[in-house]
Structure 1
Amino acid sequence: MAGPEATPVRDAATVVLVRQGGAEPALLMGQRGAAAAFMPDKYVFPGGALDDADWQVPLAVPPDPLCAARLEADGRPGLAAALAAGAVRELWEETGLILGRPGRWPVAPPAGWQSFAATGHLPDAGALRFVFRAITPPGRTRRFDARFFLADAAAIAGDPEDFGRASDELGHLHWVPMSQARRLNLPFITEVVLGEVAALLEAAGDGDAGIPFFDNSGPVPAFRRIR
């Protein structure tokens, strides 16, 4: 029987949705169930593994060219659009929020996208900013090559407080003030991403040091930056 080290690494996308305008920025987070196979009871950002259908989805706006180049730095054409689509789909499934623009689908929506398409929107990849990448270390029951996207809640179509169409995958969905987020039961990588997002929001676009990447793809863990 194959050991944990043989666990396949799946592409994944996560959305760090930030809400500005209050006393401090707030982030949308939810709690995974106690019986979840991956990170039970932890508070996380909406996200999950890519589906095959995510590669087929038409976008209202394509990914930012620099973000796309960094997402495809490993030489996989089309990955940027697929990851952006997957991020939008996961946000929709887990929160019921629409990161999209009104428009008609030029093709029949693929499996997993019918409910989103029924809202009359196409996914908006232009609202997503690639900010972090991490590969789950060996030895875990599930492993992901996760790309984290930052998005402003102002890009949401509809009420950002309306979670009525969310699935039951995440509980206790709420907007968490930045200063309070670290008090929650968080996975290690979520804590790291929180620090990176806080620094990005404080810097307000000053400079570009590349994308932090926790690379556990090989036998020796490495931290590097995607330029």
Structure 2
Amino acid sequence: MTTRIDSQPAAASLPRPAATILLLREQRSQIEVLMVRRHANLSFMGGMWVFPGGSLHAADTSDAALALIDVDQVAQRMPMVDLHGQPLTTVQTAGLAFAACRETFEETGVLLATHADGSPPDAALIERVQSQRDASNADAAVFVQLLQQNDLRPDFASLAYWSHWITPSSAPKRFDTRFFIVRAPQATLASADTGETVESLWMQPGELLAAAERRQMPISHPTQCNLHDLREALGRYRSLDDLLAGEASRQVTPILPKMFREQDHMTIVMPWDASYDACPGDGLPNPQSNALHALPSRVIANH
């Protein structure tokens, strides 16, 4: 049977900058990652389990936000490039890291911040800030104000830049997403915001992948790939501290899958597929990652 591939995709829409965090903790020598389930009625990834995150907002690169950040230090520690391999500005880089911390607070209540001297906020201060979580969800500028009013700074020193995924050029809604990893603050109690997210849980990456394989926990392909990548990395380190230290200078290559219609279904082709270059849609070079190359290079999105 001849396979039909649409060779004239519509013009690509510009992807929205976004950031997300793999929030990690160590329990009885096992590493767990926090997942949140999106509300089923949401138009984008409704009902799916995801890492906390969301779009970059103007407040994340506002003068008030940047005043709380050593912008040059963040850019030096976590160099980022755009879809064409050009370096992001220091402000863009710092803004994406800021957005990751803000979105994590809004979706889970986890506050990734310290005082100016690096000391963690006490329980009373965390509770006071968390009482304004709904307000921050409604207006991203509120998170900046909460940090200012309580002498707090985003805890960028603990963040490690993990991966960079871009939604296929043929998709109607696109995101240019930076993934970070970080250790959850001690005594962290995460909870869904009941708006965008309705449930949260901690699980080991292998357990999450097994649940997704059994179709008990629906996850997107980028989420699956990041979980595989995390599981593979955990096998190379003895502890969470070792992982965070070892991946602090990780080389991150942008990953841009291709998506097109074949017969009665959509096919997603990864950059490590042998036919990737010949498939329709915008593409990027193949990332040199053993963990990713061990994964299937094609996925049937829907029938």
Superposition deviation, residue 178 in structure 1: 2.2
- Contact 2:165 / 2:177 at 8 angstroms: preserved in 1? yes
Identity %: 25
1:62-94: per-residue Cα shift (whole Å, max 9, x none)? 427242x23576233122211110000000110
Q: CA RMSD in A?
A: 3.1
Aligned length: 215
Higher strand share: 1
| 1:53-68 equivalences in 2 (<5 Å) | 53-56=59-62, 57=65, 58-59=67-68, 62-63=73-74, 65-67=76-78
- Corresponding residue SS for 1:179: helix
Name the counterpart of 2:252: 211
Shift of the 46–4 alpha-carbon distance from structure 1 to 2, 3 Å rule, reads farther
What are the ranges of 5 or more consecutive residues in structure 2 without an aligned counterpart?
1-8, 118-139, 212-216, 238-245, 259-280, 290-303
Q: Which has the larger radius of gyration?
A: 2
Q: Is 1:125 matched up with 2:156?
A: yes
1:190 aligns with one of 206, 209, 223: 223
- Corresponding residue SS for 2:162: strand
Name the counterpart of 1:94: 107
Shift of the 176–89 alpha-carbon distance from structure 1 to 2, 3 Å rule, reads same
Distance 1:167 1:126 in 2: 30
1:70 aligns with one of 77, 80, 83: 80
Name the counterpart of 2:95: 82
TM, length-normalised to structure 1: 0.81
Q: Is 1:177 matched up with 2:204?
A: yes
TM, length-normalised to structure 2: 0.62
Higher helix share: 2
Distance 1:129 1:81 in 2: 13
Name the counterpart of 2:183: 152
- Contact 2:160 / 2:247 at 8 angstroms: preserved in 1? no
Q: Which has the higher contact order (CA 8 A, sep 6+)?
A: 1
Q: Is 1:41 matched up with 2:53?
A: no
2:30 aligns with one of 15, 24, 28: 24
Distance 2:173 2:114 in 1: 33
- Corresponding residue SS for 2:161: strand
- Corresponding residue SS for 1:210: coil
Distance 1:206 1:141 in 2: 33
Name the counterpart of 1:107: none
Distance 2:96 2:39 in 1: 25
Name the counterpart of 1:220: 283
2:143 aligns with one of 93, 98, 113: 113
Shift of the 116–194 alpha-carbon distance from structure 1 to 2, 3 Å rule, reads farther
